[in-house]
Chain A
Amino acid sequence: MELTAFDKELLNVLQGGIEFVHKPYETMANKLGVSEERVLNRLTELKKAGYVRKIGAFFNSDKLGYSGTLIAVKVMDEYLDEVAERINEYPEVTHNYQRRGEYALWFTFITDRPERQAQVLAEVKALPGVVSLMDLYSQKKYKIDVRFKLK
């Protein structure tokens, strides 16, 4: 399924935010000059086709009593897949990416229990093939605005 010009407009509007109104999709439809039904039908299809990862609320973990960090892992090539899969198993790991660089795996860890983080990091460090890891804590979040403008 290819994205049409309408789809791109719709996804751009959707990424801009969902309003707190009785019929938010109707509000979007009005902006796009189409019926609410068309928006609902097409969004359902786009979600099903996998273009939309998630529609919903995105919370700020810091304000909910949780704290997040980024961990970079240096790992031997032959163990890479296995280590990545083991890291994925932790529910507190929300993102896990393989990157081209000295540290091949980068994952985010969010928890409301600091002792749990220490425990998991010790476990990851002890996995076969893991050379070292860095805990890269952030204090200033200047920007988080994940929107992809489709043309």
Chain B
Amino acid sequence: MVISEVDKKIIRALQNDFPIVSEPYKAIAGEIGISEESLMQRLALMKEKGVLRKMGAVLRHVDVGFKANALVVWVVPEEIMDEVAQKMCAHPAVTHCYDRNTAPNWPYNFYTMIHGDSEEYCAKLVKQLSDETGIKEYELQFTEKEWKKTSMKYYME
């Protein structure tokens, strides 16, 4: 999908907080100078094309009870990676699942983020994912501190 100048305006307006008012799209459309209808149509198209990943909310997960968060790095053979990914992604506690390149002394090529109310829960889940997929080489990296978490601001120049 080619991103037009109007799309860029939409993206700039929507990457900030979405208004909690009765007619939020109308408010944003007014700011951009397009109709509410064309804003909603354009957003629906962006969603369909995968440009817009989601229109929704992200919570402060630690505050709502997900106190234990771990990046789990795995060594997964390339030829079974898609299959392993499918199994791991099926679990709702797995929010992110990526392949990544390796580095010297760093054989891990597959990454998952998992979240739970305790480290015990996370460890148990990881054991279960390991059993389900047969992947035995992995490491848990629990989050100790969030230094920064923001959304990217696109097209700011």
- With A63-B1, A146-B58 given, is the CB distance from A20 to B44 under 8 Å? yes
- Is there an interface contact between B51 and A59, defined as CB atoms closer than 8 Å? yes
Interface size on A, residues (CB 8 A): 74
Measured CB to CB, the closest approach of chain A to B36, in angstroms, equals 7
Residue of B nearest to A101 (CB): B141
In this complex, the member of B23, B54, B150 whose beta carbon has the largest number of chain A beta carbons within 10 angstroms is B54
- Is there an interface contact between B99 and A43, defined as CB atoms closer than 8 Å? no
Roughly how many angstroms separate A18 CA and B58 CA in the complex, as a whole number? 12
Interface size on B, residues (CB 8 A): 74
- Is there an interface contact between B144 and A100, defined as CB atoms closer than 8 Å? yes
Contact of B71 among A54, A59, A106 (CB under 8 A): A106
- Is there an interface contact between B147 and A54, defined as CB atoms closer than 8 Å? no
Contact of A51 among B49, B64, B89 (CB under 8 A): B64
Q: Which of A30-56 contact B (CB under 8 A)?
A: 36, 40, 43-44, 47, 50-56
Contacts of A4 in B (CB 8 A): none
Q: Mark B84-126, 1 if CB is under 8 A from A, else 0.
A: 0110110010111111110100100001000100000000000
Contacts of B46 in A (CB 8 A): 59
Measured CB to CB, the closest approach of chain B to A82, in angstroms, equals 12
Contacts of A24 in B (CB 8 A): 24-25
Roughly how many angstroms separate A15 CA and B60 CA in the complex, as a whole number? 12
Residue of A nearest to B91 (CB): A143
- Is there an interface contact between B99 and A99, defined as CB atoms closer than 8 Å? no
Asked whether B132 is an interface residue with its Cβ less than 8 Å from the other chain, the reply is no
Asked whether A145 is an interface residue with its Cβ less than 8 Å from the other chain, the reply is yes
- Is there an interface contact between B149 and A95, defined as CB atoms closer than 8 Å? yes
- With A40-B20, A143-B96, A145-B95 given, is the CB distance from A134 to B103 under 8 Å? yes
Roughly how many angstroms separate A110 CA and B153 CA in the complex, as a whole number? 10
- Is there an interface contact between A147 and B92, defined as CB atoms closer than 8 Å? yes
Measured CB to CB, the closest approach of chain B to A102, in angstroms, equals 9
Q: Mark B61-72, 1 if CB is under 8 A from A, else 0.
A: 101111000010
Contacts of B85 in A (CB 8 A): 140, 142-143
Contacts of A57 in B (CB 8 A): 11, 14-15, 18, 43, 52, 54-55
6 contacts between A and B (CB under 8 A): A26-B22, A60-B51, A61-B152, A87-B147, A141-B98, A144-B96
What 13 new A-B contacts, CB under 8 Å, besides A66-B154, A84-B145? A11-B59, A17-B56, A20-B40, A20-B41, A20-B47, A22-B25, A22-B36, A24-B25, A25-B20, A40-B22, A135-B101, A136-B103, A141-B98
**A interface, CB within 8 angstroms of B:** 3, 11, 14-26, 36, 40, 43-44, 47, 50-61, 63-66, 70, 84-85, 87-88, 91-101, 103, 105-107, 110, 134-150
The 7 closest A-B pairs by CB, nearest first: A57-B14, A96-B148, A56-B18, A98-B145, A143-B97, A142-B85, A96-B147
